[in-house]
Structure formats: structure tokens, C-alpha cells
Amino acid sequence: MMAAMTQFFKSPRALLLLVVPAMLLAGCTADPALQAPGVTLSVGAENNPQQVTSGVQLLVLLTVLSLAPAVLILATSFTRIVIVLSMLRSAIGTPSIPPNQVIIGLSILLTFFIMAPVYQKIDQTAIQPYLNEEIDQDTAFKRAVEPVREFMFKQTREKDIQLFLEMSGEPKPETLDDIPTLALFPAFVISELRTAFTMGFVIYIPFLVIDLVVSSVLLAMGMMMLPPSLVSLPFKLLLFVMVDGWFLITRSLALSFLGG
């Protein structure tokens, strides 16, 4: 078999089968533009640096847009709202009612309502002047960050900011402008988590009292086989409806931000 293969590669037909594809591939690589029906692919050096810069800016913009959902969640009031509503659902004892879509949707609507003044300020001071070519891109970005930083400063504890300043090795700031956004952002997030869990604890207390009372009554009646959560759920729902719970929760969440 080896002798047959050696004889094949020595024949002119084998050389022809090897040379022709090589020539075709060489021609394809040498041609900087490949064309197909409806498709054109070109590879070559770009002589205009401005177009290269625009391409890099577009790539950076797409990267930022991919991170936009995370920024929307962490840099706004969404984190506190969705945690409080989720803990409310757990405190009542209905882990799937309201559904996750309702909880997320209500959190987004409340976030837009609470963040509306911040968005309006960004639009007036940064977006509209930039669209009207009154300011450049860097100035627009700096003006857009200022309202967001102001919002985060109102909701962030000084202790949390100091924590990230010490870990990053930043010197002690003299003014709020000296605090970098890189340290303010995580400090705002952990402050929001603390506030959300504090509000969730307060929400849990009345429902916990109902559970304790129902459990004590069932134990006194000797009905130990009956799940207390099954009996306490109607009473918790009745209490929540009678006190207009959705109004109170929404009002408390909004005032916790708008009240500053």
C-alpha cells in the first residue's frame, strides 16, 4: 500500500491536484476583496485615522450598552424596590403571588417615577446641549454623571463611602467632588441593600405576629397536624388589604428616595 501511495504522489496527476487548489487559495488571499452574490468582504489597511477612531468609539458604545441593564439595576432605586417587594411577598406567605413579572414590572415603573427628576436634569444639562452641538462629548458625559452622583450621595452612608476609599487607597476627600465614582458606586449599592433589608424587617413584624398567634391557638386547640401557614394566610391577606398595604408600601418606598 505504501508503494502505491508513493507511486501516486510521483505521478503528474497528483501534482496537478495539489497545485491547482494551492493556486486558487493563493489567489483568494492575494485579492483584498471577496465578492459573493449580495455580500462583499474587503480586507485592507485604513488610511483615514478618523474612521478608525469612529469604529473604536462604536465598539466602546456597544460594550457600554451591553452593561446598561446592570447599571440601570444598581445605579437607580430599582435594587431597594425589588428587594422590598420580594420580601413583602415572602412575609405574606405567597412566594409565587404576585408573579415575578409583576414584581419586576412594578419595580421598573416605580424606578422610572422616582428617577424622573434625575433623568430630566440629565436631558436638560447634557443630552440636549450635546444634540444641539453646544458642548462636546466629554463635557456631556461629565454633566450627565453629576445628577446621578448627586442622587447616590443622598442615599449612601458616609461609612460605606469611607470603606471603599480606604480599600482603594484614595486620600481623604475634602469635598464631594473629590470622591471618585468608582468608590461611590459600590458604596451606594451596599447602602441600598442595608436600607432594603431594614424595610423588609419592619414589614415582616406584623405578619410574624399573626403567625405566632395562629400557631399558639392551634397548639392550644390540639390541632397540631394542621399547618399554621394554611390558617394564617387568609388573616395576613385580610390585614394587608384592610390597611391598604400596596398604598403604604409604595408610598414608603417613594418617600424614602424623594424625601432624601
Domain extent listing, the chain: 69-203+245-258
C-alpha cell at 200: 423588609
C-alpha cell at 131: 444634540
C-alpha cell at 253: 418606598
For 148-181, b/e burial (b = at least 16 CB within 10 A) is bbebbeebbeeebbeebbeeeeeeeeeeeeebee
pLDDT of residue 47: 54
pLDDT band at 50 (very low <50, low <70, confident <90, very high): low
C-alpha cell at 124: 436638560
How many angstroms from the chain centroid is the CA of residue 207?
31
The 10s digit of each residue's pLDDT in 185-234 is: 889 989 999 999 999 899 888 888 888 888 887 777 777 777 777 777 88
The 10s digit of each residue's pLDDT in 74-108 is: 888 888 999 999 888 888 888 778 888 988 888 88
pTM (two decimals): 0.69
The 10s digit of each residue's pLDDT in 168-177 is: 777 777 787 7
Query: Cβ distance 185 to 145 under 8 Å?
Result: no
Query: Cβ distance 153 to 130 under 8 Å?
Result: no
β strands within the chain, DSSP E: 33-36, 39-42
